[in-house]
Structure 1
Amino acid sequence: MSDPVVVVGVDGSASSLDAVDVAAREALLRGACLRLVHAFGHPSGHLPGAAPWNPAGHSLEPMLRGELARAEERARTVAPGLDVTRSVVAGDAVRVLEIESRAAALTVVGHRGLSGIPELLVGSTAVHLAVHGHGPLMVVRGRPDPSGPVLLAVDGSPAGEAAVDFAFAEAALRQAPLVALHVWNTWSERAYEGPGDPLNAVVADAERLREAEQHLLDRTVARREATHPQVVVERRLVRSRIRPALLDAAREAQLVVAGTRGRGGFTGLLLGSVGQALLHHAECPVAVVRVQE
């Protein structure tokens, strides 16, 4: 069986070099090798306002001696002795990294690339991979506190189970505490089991709903505590709007972990509003974990 691989996208931007630092640490924690990937070709056609790609001045040698050489130097500074490979692949970065993610234990990208569109808070590559990539994706943003906890956004959805597993494993690797945060409010989409109209009943009996949400949090965490006894877990139940509560908690975290969709919203959305908010505004790296089909 081959060694696990952590893949990181490199485009020469400051954001991608920050991603290399994080990816090198992640590879070291996993006993994995690090694969530096630079896509050599036209940028995504769906990027409005992106300048057309001009092959003049784009040759393999400058890339190998420039962007990838600098990236490898950064990786070896962070993790001396790490097994590092370089890869220049012809194609659009979005598609190339989507393919690379199929064999990766983890894919890491910066929150902004060289798209030439400064008003975007998070790059299209990160958003696309969060929706269509394979395996866990880590988007590097903010200034993580290395002494902070791993923050898990507990939503109780079947799609969120993979995120729970990843968060516990990541906390164990980092030897960090885990904060399992479940945010609820009276507009929760959780099914109400009492008589009468569900919405009116939920609003009228907030305490019963709180107890149900506490049970959901306890049940979600308890199943993993048995397999990760070394992880110190804080169960945190908060009545609030979901996105502000998560973003506030992320300020003290070294990593926040979420699934692609929660229990609410529209089933046609592949990346929920909470995931979008974290990718755009979290003040620490964000791991988005999809259920593998």
Structure 2
Amino acid sequence: MLDSRPVVVGVDGSPASLAAVRYAVRLAERRQTPLHLVHAYQYPLPGYTMVGFAYPSDGSGEAAREQIAATLKALAERIRAEHPDLVAVHAEQVAGPAAAVLIELARGADVTVVGTRGHGGFAGLLLGSVAAQVATHAHGTVIVVPPAAEDGPDRAEDPVAVGFDRSTGAERALRFAAEESLLRGTALAVTRLYDPVMDRDGAYAALSIADAVKILLDEYPSLRVDADTLPSESIARGMIEISAEAGLTVVGSRGHGGFAGLLLGSIGRALLHHARGPVAVVHPTHAERNVS
């Protein structure tokens, strides 16, 4: 077992959350770690219901909890039956705002998985407030999964893509991406996007990525790495284009540039809103943040 900490996934019955569950199942299988299904609830106004998790209009908290518990139990049992190689499957409902609940559980998670947008909010939004808050504030790695992944393949045979800029966040992302590539048996596509105004011929970018790949291969000698440098006037746009060919696009919580207090940089935010596949945002873990 790689890690006894679970893969935590938020469930609310929406298409995006069901896609996140399917993704989390495969992730937990690869990482040989338990799967933890979580439904966070706050009783809404009378008469309001959510698909798959219907709340009674009489305000009865007990009836609502029983309904959700039955739904979660059935989901967990189906997952166990369809994926017998999973280490374990746990399901629970937790009272509280969904983002706050998942951010707290992420402290002890191996990876936290959320759908891009759950129930509620505006239909035109590509990224919901819960996914945005969890991806920005949670400890450890958060993977945000779009609903298109629900009925389609895992894209697990496509390369894992990671952007590198020599920041501490990028180095952490690089290692997570390398681990995922090895578990999937795919190549790792490491890209150093550079501004041609600042680095006209890309010489500095090429040198920095060569150093990073050498260190990575010393640590993971069986890893297949495709390293490249590309000029781009917009690093964010360049990473969005790269995501179209990736099974997973990985980014550090904050790279070079911006304000030190920001938890998620502009590139990460752009990817979460516009990437063409799942995105992993790699934050420091709870233990790393508490190292004195």
Aligned to 1:56: 59
CA displacement, residues 41-85 of structure 1 (integer Å, 9 cap, x when unaligned)? 168xxxxxxxxx97826511111222x245325533652342111
Aligned to 1:79: 83
Once the two structures are aligned, what percentage of the paired residues are identical?
39
CA displacement, residues 206-254 of structure 1 (integer Å, 9 cap, x when unaligned)? 23xx211111111122211112122210001000121221111111110
Length-normalised TM-score, structure 2 = 0.84
Aligned to 1:47: none
Q: Shift of the alpha carbon at 1:31? A: 1.1
Closer/same/farther in 2, CA of residues 256 and 78 from structure 1, 3 Å limit: farther
Aligned to 1:221: 213
Within the candidate set 157, 162, 165, 1:155 is matched to 165
Aligned to 2:17: 16
Query: Residue type matched to 2:131 in 1?
Result: A
Q: Is 1:231 aligned with 2:223?
A: yes
Aligned to 1:262: 255
Where do 5+ consecutive residues of structure 2 fail to align? 45-54
Q: Shift of the alpha carbon at 1:16? A: 0.6
Aligned to 1:36: 37
Within the candidate set 255, 274, 279, 1:286 is matched to 279
Q: What SS class does the counterpart of residue 203 from structure 2 fall into?
A: helix
Q: Shift of the alpha carbon at 1:134? A: 1.1
Closer/same/farther in 2, CA of residues 108 and 269 from structure 1, 3 Å limit: same
Query: In 2, Cα distance between the equivalents of 1:280 and 1:290?
Result: 18
Closer/same/farther in 2, CA of residues 139 and 164 from structure 1, 3 Å limit: same
Q: Shift of the alpha carbon at 1:117? A: 2.0
Moved over 4 A (4+): none
Q: Is the 8 A contact 2:121 2:128 kept in 1?
A: no
Query: Residue type matched to 1:223 in 2?
Result: I
Query: Residue type matched to 1:105 in 2?
Result: D
Q: What SS class does the counterpart of residue 103 from structure 1 fall into?
A: coil
Q: Is the 8 A contact 1:21 1:75 kept in 2?
A: no
Aligned to 1:106: 111
Query: Residue type matched to 1:5 in 2?
Result: P
Aligned to 1:245: 238
Length-normalised TM-score, structure 1 = 0.84
State the Cα RMSD in Å. 2.2
Closer/same/farther in 2, CA of residues 90 and 56 from structure 1, 3 Å limit: same
Q: Is the 8 A contact 2:43 2:59 kept in 1?
A: no
Query: In 1, Cα distance between the equivalents of 2:225 and 2:82?
Result: 28
Query: In 1, Cα distance between the equivalents of 2:257 and 2:223?
Result: 29
Q: Is 1:26 aligned with 2:18?
A: no
The total of aligned residue pairs comes to 265
Q: Is the 8 A contact 1:17 1:71 kept in 2?
A: no
Where do 5+ consecutive residues of structure 1 fail to align? 44-52, 188-201
Query: Residue type matched to 2:256 in 1?
Result: R
Q: What SS class does the counterpart of residue 206 from structure 1 fall into?
A: coil
Q: Shift of the alpha carbon at 1:111? A: 0.6
Query: Residue type matched to 1:243 in 2?
Result: A
Q: Is the 8 A contact 2:29 2:85 kept in 1?
A: no
Q: Shift of the alpha carbon at 1:33? A: 0.8
Query: In 2, Cα distance between the equivalents of 1:112 and 1:272?
Result: 20
Q: Is 1:131 aligned with 2:141?
A: no
